[in-house]
């Protein structure tokens, strides 16, 4: 059974190429071998510079490369498309699944493996995966203890995960969804009802993946995921737009001296466009917005993530982290654990986001548990 995907709704230009995922993935050209596809590559690169063969093949070919590089950790299904940990299903363990449009790598496929996700379901670029993809991924990790769906708050993602959960439950597989909505920049957008789901997704996947490895039952795991979401806030900013391969041009325009505060991970508008400032001022604006919404104060501990949007040098991200730690230390807030790098991106966008999760002994202990995935690993 195949369903047409409801787009995640990341940006206006993307809607021009949103189409049925199943149709795109099952058309004859997509199902033939490497040599046959190569013979059909005719594409003009006059409008953008990307290391691709053709916009219609970029997700498929990326996943093929991913499967070759990480064959020791994951298996990749191409009909329907999903990525699953190599030893799935793990009997007696709750399966943990997330997914969404491609273009945010390493999220989500990069987090499949021991101590994190059991499966990830990638859609086309900035387009939700289809219900049949999600259903197949859910079935593939069902070890008899149910499956947790971690879903970012985008309309297409929510509807398609809900439909997949109904299909699974009709076949006796218990599936429970928790929605992540940690973005403090805007309350509603063109593509969401309520706040967008962004950086806290990565933290929830790590913490819930660890709890599932410990044997948490589905009900407790869902409550834990909701607690992570309730205690996490994220704010992002952009120095440049991203360029979606199928669109062939930047999603939006920023002047040479402009930045946008509160940008979404698909290029959705933020809360303010303004002249660019030193990183100290930028991080101050982001931290003040987060702390104005997150119930954290002096003496509390946090897990902090400074995340690149895909086109920002690591050197600059470390500079942003320096500002973040100085600001939190001045407020008596302790950074118990930290991540700096590209963890939830927006293709080639230059910019960053900051995520703070108010920690406690349980959350920090789960964070420290071993993890072995393509993109995140320690202790394993």
- Kindly list the catalytic residues: 104, 266
Neighbours of 126 (CB within 10 A): 33
Residue 258 makes CB contacts below 8 A (sequence gap 6+) with: 273, 274, 275, 276
In this structure, are residues 97 and 148 in contact, taking their beta carbons and an 8 Å threshold?
yes
Q: How long a stretch of residues is the chain?
A: 380
Run of H or E including 95? strand 95-102
Phi, psi of 291 (to 5 degrees): -70, -20
Q: Which of 156, 137, 125 is nearest to 59 (CA)?
A: 125
Task: Give the integer Cα–Cα distance in Å for 8 and 274.
Answer: 27
Task: Give the integer Cα–Cα distance in Å for 260 and 273.
Answer: 4
State both tokens at 28: 């004859």
In this structure, are residues 21 and 129 in contact, taking their beta carbons and an 8 Å threshold?
yes
Phi-psi region of 146 (alpha: psi -120 to 50; beta: other; left: phi over 0): left
Task: Give the integer Cα–Cα distance in Å for 65 and 31.
Answer: 16
Which single residue is written with the structure tokens 């349980």? 362
């Amino acid at each position: 059974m195949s369903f047409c995907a409801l787009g995640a709704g990341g940006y206006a230009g993307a809607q021009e190429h949103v189409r049925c995922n199943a149709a795109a993935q099952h058309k004859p050209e997509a199902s033939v071998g490497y040599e046959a596809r190569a013979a059909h590559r005719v594409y003009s690169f006059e409008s953008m510079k990307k290391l691709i063969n053709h916009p219609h093949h970029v997700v498929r070919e990326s996943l093929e490369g991913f499967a070759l590089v990480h064959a020791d950790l994951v298996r990749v299904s191409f009909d329907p498309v999903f990525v699953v940990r190599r030893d799935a299903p793990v009997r007696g363990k709750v399966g943990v699944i997330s997914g969404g449009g491609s273009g945010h790598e390493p999220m989500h496929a990069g987090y499949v493996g021991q101590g994190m996700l059991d499966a990830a379901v990638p859609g086309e670029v900035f387009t939700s995966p289809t219900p049949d993809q999600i259903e197949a991924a859910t079935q593939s990790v069902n070890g008899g203890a149910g499956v947790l769906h971690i879903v970012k708050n985008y309309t297409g993602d929510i509807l398609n995960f809900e439909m997949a959960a109904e299909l699974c439950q009709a076949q006796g597989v218990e599936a429970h969804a928790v929605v992540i909505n940690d973005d403090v920049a805007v309350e509603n957008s063109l593509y969401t009802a309520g706040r967008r789901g962004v950086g806290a997704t990565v933290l929830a996947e790590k913490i819930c993946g660890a709890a599932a490895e410990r044997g948490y039952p589905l009900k407790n795991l869902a409550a834990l995921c909701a607690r992570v979401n309730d205690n996490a806030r994220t704010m992002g900013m952009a120095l440049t737009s991203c360029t979606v391969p199928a669109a062939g041009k930047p999603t939006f325009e920023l002047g040479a001296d402009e930045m946008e505060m509160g940008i979404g991970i698909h290029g959705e508008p933020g809360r303010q466009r303004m002249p660019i400032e030193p990183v100290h001022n930028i991080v101050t604006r982001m931290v003040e917005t987060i702390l104005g919404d997150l119930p954290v104060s002096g003496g509390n501990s946090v897990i902090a993530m400074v995340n690149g949007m895909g086109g920002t040098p690591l050197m600059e991200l470390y500079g942003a982290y320096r500002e973040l730690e100085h600001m939190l230390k001045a407020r008596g807030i302790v950074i118990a654990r930290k991540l700096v790098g590209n963890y939830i991106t927006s293709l080639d966008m230059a910019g960053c986001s900051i995520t703070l999760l108010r920690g406690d002994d349980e959350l920090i202990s789960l964070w420290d548990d071993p993890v072995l995935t393509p993109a995140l690993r320690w202790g394993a």
